[in-house]
């Protein structure tokens, strides 16, 4: 594996080029000063928007400030992520964050003002100034919130409670990131060492069952010890969601969470119902796992153990890029040219170096191009990560090129579609090319486990959120026992009868940060299902689907997420895409079982 001791050792063509945003820090400072000067101008509009001309002037200035601020923030964040130890980069990002808060404060008056207007007045304003047509759809979309916006004094009161209402989430973050101390595990020399999250991720996949068990017990230990405190924070977070939904006149906390994306609750319910009706293939996979591991009792810490061992492929970055281009060829020549540009024009930061932010992400910078952070390790997982992030990257690039700034950013609801389409195309390409039986089994297992984590686990989490919020809405007290019983029952429903439960299983709810961002995780599953449908059609040579998919990648947020997906042939208001996805999973499990 290629390793570097410092960033300076990495070849220039494997480092992103931040000069495309700002050629130097002086230019960054110039934009910082301009935004500071604009804040006072933005504040002047408070109480002064009386006609179309002043409305247009405000919106135009706000968008100009937003454009510059995004550049400032992106440059600062990317610079810091190159080496998180550099204090000057930390300070740069802190300044960008503080400036963002000031801008938000200066423009906070606008939404209450807008919603105080009636539609006739707003239409008159728009008729006065031609430039307001650009903002028209966005302005009227805000009117959807009118039934859920309170009187000005009440809104001001609620805004003052913002910090208090976010306390459960902040408290859990502090517990989870600062206070949690995992137990100890035994290293290869027999010494006891503290468990970390990174080490746990490796050990839970170890072939040695004793190591997996030891890591599992050590990982869950602090969550079980803090069960009452964490139950209190989660209960408070759920009650806050329920209370805010009532205050704002939503039928339920679920419908409040779905409102921004204009998603009917039937989509959420369909996802859960269709999954549970077609859960048998997951139960079969768990049975195969138990049989293949030759265990009398399968436990939760056995669910990530490798079923196909001894497959270690060395995949250098250059080879990975060539493989990606071949695998994604069904998406067309224009798509491949964009991918070549990513590499040749230094959009990607490839190598792992000391101090660099871990993991991987894509950041689209409107008016510039996407930036992709990797920590490439010359292995199969790194190849999948490259393909995944490049899916996000092409989505960002095309949406930015084909959409104006106001609709260029795509919703989280559709974000995982582009990345997962790429992963499905890659796995199918590798399976088609691979003749070695052991590697084929390994690839199938990789895909099945991706399915398990991105789809089934997220649907289970989504049902847990729905059930606990419904209890709170009915006035049922939420505590450790309620959370344990709900989670344990769902885990049994989803993963079937072949798992023997350790005491820790029922505490799974205590470690999930997503539960403090209500009704969010279902989007992973709907995105995954949409991607499976699209990739399958594209591989079948369906030109209509391919063309509509490329158009989708250019669409940003020009329509609501469900409508954008419908144009590609994916209708999530029906259970069909979910059912087809589960059929695909069933086929994978059947094929995998036949190879063992």
Q: What confidence score (pLDDT) does residue 311 get?
A: 80
Instruction: Give the CA count within 13 Å in the CB-facing half-sphere of 22.
Output: 21
Question: Is position 160 within any domain?
Answer: yes
| CA–CA dist 289, 306 (Å, integer) | 9
CB 34 within 8 A of CB 69: no
Distance from C-alpha of 203 to C-alpha of 214, rounded to nearest angstrom: 9
d(CA 237, CA 165): 8
Q: Indicate whether 269 belongs to any domain.
A: no
Is 142 within the bounds of a domain? yes
pLDDT tens digits for 103-112?
A: 988 998 898 8
Instruction: Confirm whether 141 is domain-assigned.
Output: yes
Could you give the residue numbers annotated as active site? 389
Instruction: Give me the pLDDT at residue 523, please.
Output: 94
- Give φ, ψ of 348 to 5 degrees: -115, 135
Give the pLDDT score at 334: 98
Nearest to 378 by CA among 466, 318, 463, 299: 318
Q: Indicate whether this model's pTM tops 0.85.
A: yes
- Residue 360: both structure tokens together: 């991987």
pLDDT at 202: 87
Q: How much is the pLDDT for 241?
A: 97
Domain span at residue 142?
Answer: 7-165
> Vertex 335, ends 332 and 339: CA angle to 5°?
135
Residue 108 has what pLDDT? 86
Q: What is the pLDDT of residue 359?
A: 87
Give the separation between CA 256 and CA 238, rounded to whole angstroms.
13
pLDDT of residue 1: 63
Residue 143 counted as domain residue: yes
In a domain, 260, yes or no: no
Contact in structure between 221 and 182 (CB atoms under 8 Å): yes
**Tens-level pLDDT at each residue, the chain (596 residues):** 677 889 999 999 999 999 999 999 999 999 999 999 999 999 999 999 999 999 999 999 999 999 999 999 999 999 999 999 999 999 999 999 999 989 988 998 898 899 889 999 999 999 999 999 999 999 999 989 988 988 767 877 887 787 788 889 989 988 988 888 998 999 888 999 999 887 898 899 999 999 999 999 999 999 999 999 999 999 999 999 999 999 999 999 999 999 999 999 999 999 999 999 999 999 999 999 999 999 999 999 999 999 998 787 899 999 999 999 999 999 999 999 999 999 999 999 999 999 998 889 999 999 999 999 999 999 888 999 999 999 999 999 999 999 999 999 999 899 989 999 999 999 999 999 998 899 899 999 989 999 999 999 999 999 999 999 999 999 999 999 999 999 999 999 999 999 999 999 999 999 999 999 999 999 999 999 999 999 999 999 999 999 999 999 999 999 999 999 999 999 999 999 999 999 999 999 999 999 87
**Tokens (6 digits) for 283:** 């139960």
Per-residue CA distances from 556 to 70, 95, 376, 404, 553 (Å):
17, 29, 28, 9, 7
Residues 57, 59, 64, CA angle at the centre, nearest 5°?
95
Tell me if 507 is assigned to some domain.
Answer: no
Q: How many domains does the chain have?
A: 1
Q: What is the CATH number of the domain that holds 103?
A: 1.20.140.70
126 domain residue, yes or no: yes
- pLDDT for the residue numbered 596: 77
In this structure, the dihedral spanned by the alpha carbons of residues 529, 531, 534 and 536, taken in order and rounded to 10 degrees, is -80
Looking at residue 283, its pLDDT comes to 97
Q: Which CB contacts under 8 angstroms, 24+ apart, belong to 114-119? A: 114/139, 114/142, 115/142, 115/143, 115/145, 115/146, 115/149, 116/152, 119/143
């Amino acid at each position: 594996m290629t390793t570097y001791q410092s960033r300076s050792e990495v070849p220039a063509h494997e480092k992103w080029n931040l000069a495309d945003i700002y050629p130097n820090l002086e230019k960054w400072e110039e934009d910082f000063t301009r935004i500071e000067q604009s804040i006072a101008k933005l504040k002047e509009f408070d109480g002064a928007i009386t006609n179309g001309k002043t409305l247009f002037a405000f919106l135009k200035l706000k968008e100009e400030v937003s454009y510059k601020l995004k550049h400032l923030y992106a440059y600062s964040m990317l610079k810091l992520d190159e080496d998180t130890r550099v204090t000057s980069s930390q300070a740069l990002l802190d300044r960008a964050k503080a400036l963002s808060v000031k801008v938000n404060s200066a423009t906070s008056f606008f939404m209450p003002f807008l919603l105080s207007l009636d539609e006739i007045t707003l239409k008159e304003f728009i008729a006065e100034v031609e430039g307001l047509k650009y903002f028209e759809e966005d302005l009227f979309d805000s009117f959807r919130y009118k039934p859920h916006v309170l009187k000005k004094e009440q809104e001001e009161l609620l805004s003052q409670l913002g910090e208090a209402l976010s306390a459960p989430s902040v408290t859990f973050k502090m517990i989870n990131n600062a206070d949690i101390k995992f137990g100890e595990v035994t290293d290869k020399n027999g010494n006891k060492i503290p468990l970390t999250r990174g080490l746990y991720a490796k050990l839970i996949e170890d072939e040695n069952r004793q190591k997996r068990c030891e890591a599992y017990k050590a990982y869950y230990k602090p969550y079980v010890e803090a069960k009452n405190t964490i139950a209190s924070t989660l209960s408070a977070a759920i009650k806050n969601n329920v209370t805010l939904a009532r205050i704002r006149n939503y039928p339920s906390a679920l419908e409040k969470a779905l409102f921004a994306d204009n998603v009917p609750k039937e989509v959420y319910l369909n996802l859960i119902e269709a999954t549970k009706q077609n859960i048998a293939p997951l139960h079969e996979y768990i049975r195969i796992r138990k049989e293949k591991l030759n265990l009398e009792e399968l436990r939760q810490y056995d669910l990530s153990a490798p079923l196909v061992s001894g497959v270690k492929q060395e995949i250098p970055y250059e080879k990975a890029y060539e493989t990606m281009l071949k695998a994604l060829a069904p998406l067309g020549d224009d798509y491949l040219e964009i991918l070549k540009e990513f590499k040749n024009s230094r959009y990607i930061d490839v190598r792992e170096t000391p101090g660099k932010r871990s993991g991987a992400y894509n950041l689209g910078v409107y008016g510039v191009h996407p930036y992709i952070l990797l920590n490439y390790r010359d292995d199969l997982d790194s190849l999948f990560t490259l393909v995944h992030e490049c899916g996000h990257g092409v989505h960002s690039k095309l949406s930015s090129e084909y959409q104006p700034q106001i609709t260029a950013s795509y919703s989280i609801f559709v974000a995982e579609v582009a990345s997962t389409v790429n992963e499905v195309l890659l796995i199918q390409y590798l399976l088609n090319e691979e003749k070695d039986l052991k590697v084929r089994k390994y690839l199938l297992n990789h895909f099945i486990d991706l399915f398990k984590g991105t789809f089934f686990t997220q649907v289970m989490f989504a049902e847990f959120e729905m059930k606990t919020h419904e209890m709170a809405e009915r006035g049922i007290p939420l505590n450790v026992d309620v959370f344990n019983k709900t989670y344990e029952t769902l885990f049994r429903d989803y993963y079937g009868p072949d798992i023997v439960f350790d005491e820790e299983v029922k505490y799974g709810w205590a470690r999930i940060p997503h539960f403090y961002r209500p009704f969010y995780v279902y989007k992973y599953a709907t995105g995954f299902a949409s991607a499976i449908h699209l990739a399958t059609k594209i591989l079948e040579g369906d030109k209509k689907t391919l063309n509509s998919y490329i158009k989708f990648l250019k669409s940003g947020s020009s329509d609501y997420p469900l409508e954008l997906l419908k144009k590609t042939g994916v209708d999530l208001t029906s259970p069909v895409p979910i059912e087809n996805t589960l059929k695909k999973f069933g086929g994978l499990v059947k094929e995998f079982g036949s190879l063992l």
